[in-house]
């Protein structure tokens, strides 16, 4: 670190949301760091460059969180990439780019075992939050290939993806196509996102969920007259009910997430049409990406290969400044982005 004092800033939890998340939930706290303070053995000091704005952040704001909850007054959990400024860990040097649970802050100090040194020779560091990211590319990969078993019989599956123009969804659409799905249909909000699914991500067709449940059901019937073989669900609620109603015999529903429920976690609504699972000998299976941790390197190699030869793409939507953290999280929930939503952390205090 330089000898000039550094002002670190962090976003802390000021109040738990009561319904939709608002600015009052967050406080921006500043602290002057001692530039002469040594980093403790086994730790690395990191300047946070970019945060991954992920749906799980919303659920951590609840007291009884589906994921591990954020502490009142504590830094809001977030994954990110940053630059090492000081290190007391062998193999990690100042200047290295690292990935880890850096938190919504400008500076982090973490045990070396919690961060990963990144190879940025072929892809930028932000690729490890998006296409190669645990909560994005890897989640889509394991959901499509392992849980949904898309491509087990190549050319066999009609795959439908909800939240398809978002981070996980846009990866799931492309991975389904690359894994041998017969047909890939994306569901997203609005005509611009629907065009993006077909024109940029290579989906065979798109459905606008903002037209309402009946219109969604009619369009799905037209596009998948034999039913849905694999439904990769990011959304839950009404969209899940529409898909359940049209699940094929022996169809699979991949429960990746249910973002329509995250603003009222104490009153989560399950699917009304779940008896279709019995009627059609279908199954619904949930997963967390961490269940596949031992296979991360293999999946990353596959995704990295597709990325390198141009078969996989990830659009990044970048917001700027730690003060925009709350607004960025709301943007994720409201769908004001295409692809991966990132927050570039401006370190104006140092």
List of residues contacting ligand NAP (CB under 6 A): 54-56, 135, 139, 163, 165-169, 188-189, 193, 209, 234-235, 237, 239, 256-260, 287-289, 332-333, 335, 341
Q: What is the smallest separation between the CB atom of 189 and ligand NAP, expressed in angstroms?
A: 3
Element (H, E) at 299: helix 296-308
Where would I find the beta strands (DSSP E) of the chain? 6-13, 26-33, 43-52, 79-87, 97-100, 107-111, 116-117, 158-161, 183-188, 205-208, 228-233, 247-255, 283-286, 316-320, 340-344
C-beta of 112 vs 148, nearer to ligand NAP: 148
Residue placing its CB nearer to ligand NAP in the complex, 9 or 317: 317
Instruction: In angstroms, give the least distance from the CB of 162 to ligand NAP.
Output: 7
The token pair at 333 is 């929930």
201 token code pair: 């991500």
**Shortest distance in whole angstroms from residue 209 CB to ligand NAP:** 5
For residue 132, the minimal CB distance to ligand NAP (Å) is 14
Closest to 164 measured CA to CA, from 203, 199, 212: 203
Q: DSSP character for 138?
A: I
CB of 350 to ligand NAP, least distance (A): 29
Q: How far is the CB of 316 from ligand NAP (least distance, A)?
A: 11
For ligand NAP, give the closer residue by CB, 1 or 206: 206
Is the Cβ–Cβ distance between 343 and 50 less than 8 Å? yes
Residue closer to ligand NAP, measured from CB, 43 or 179: 179
Listed in sequence order, the residues at least 6 apart from 257 whose beta carbon sits closer than 8 Å to its beta carbon are: 55, 163, 168, 233, 234, 235, 236
Given 3-state DSSP classes, what are the helix, strand and coil percentages for the chain, each rounded to the nearest 5? 35, 25, 40
Q: Would you give the DSSP letter of residue 105?
A: B
Phi and psi at 160, nearest 5°, equal: -120, 135
Handedness of CA 244, 245, 248, 250 (dihedral sign): positive
Task: Write down the least CB distance from residue 285 to ligand NAP, Å.
Answer: 11
């Amino acid at each position: 670190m330089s000898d000039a004092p550094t002002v670190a800033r962090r976003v802390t939890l000021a109040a738990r949301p009561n319904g939709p998340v608002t600015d009052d939930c967050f406080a921006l706290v500043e602290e002057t760091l001692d530039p002469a303070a040594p980093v403790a053995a086994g730790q690395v000091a990191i300047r946070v460059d970019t945060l991954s704005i992920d749906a799980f952040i919303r659920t951590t704001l609840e007291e009884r969180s589906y994921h591990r909850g954020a502490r009142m007054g504590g830094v809001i959990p977030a994954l990110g990439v940053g630059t090492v400024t000081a290190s007391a860990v062998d193999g990690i040097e100042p200047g290295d780019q690292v990935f880890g649970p850096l938190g919504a802050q400008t500076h982090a100090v973490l045990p070396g075992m919690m961060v990963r040194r990144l190879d940025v020779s072929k892809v930028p560091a932000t690729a490890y939050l998006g296409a190669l990211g645990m909560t994005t590319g890897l989640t889509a990969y394991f959901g499509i290939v392992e849980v949904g078993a898309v491509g087990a019989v190549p050319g066999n599956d009609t795959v439908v993806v909800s939240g398809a123009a978002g981070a996980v969804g846009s990866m799931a659409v492309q991975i389904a196509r690359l894994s041998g799905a017969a047909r890939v249909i994306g569901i997203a909000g609005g005509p611009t996102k629907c065009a993006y699914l077909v024109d940029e991500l290579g989906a065979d067709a798109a459905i606008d969920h903002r037209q309402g449940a009946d219109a969604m059901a009619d369009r799905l019937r037209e596009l998948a007259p034999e039913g849905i073989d694999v439904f990769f669900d990011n959304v839950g609620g009404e969209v899940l009910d529409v898909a359940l109603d049209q699940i094929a015999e022996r169809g699979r529903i991949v429960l990746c997430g249910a973002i329509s429920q995250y603003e009222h976690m104490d009153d989560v609504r399950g699917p009304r049409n779940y008896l279709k699972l019995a009627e059609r000998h279908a199954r619904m299976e949930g997963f967390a990406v961490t269940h596949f941790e031992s296979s991360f390197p293999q999946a990353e190699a596959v995704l990295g290969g597709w990325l390198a030869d141009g078969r996989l793409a990830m659009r990044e939507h970048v917001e700027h400044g730690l003060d925009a953290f709350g607004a960025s999280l709301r943007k994720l929930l409201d769908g004001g982005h295409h692809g991966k939503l990132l927050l570039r952390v401006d370190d104006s205090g140092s």
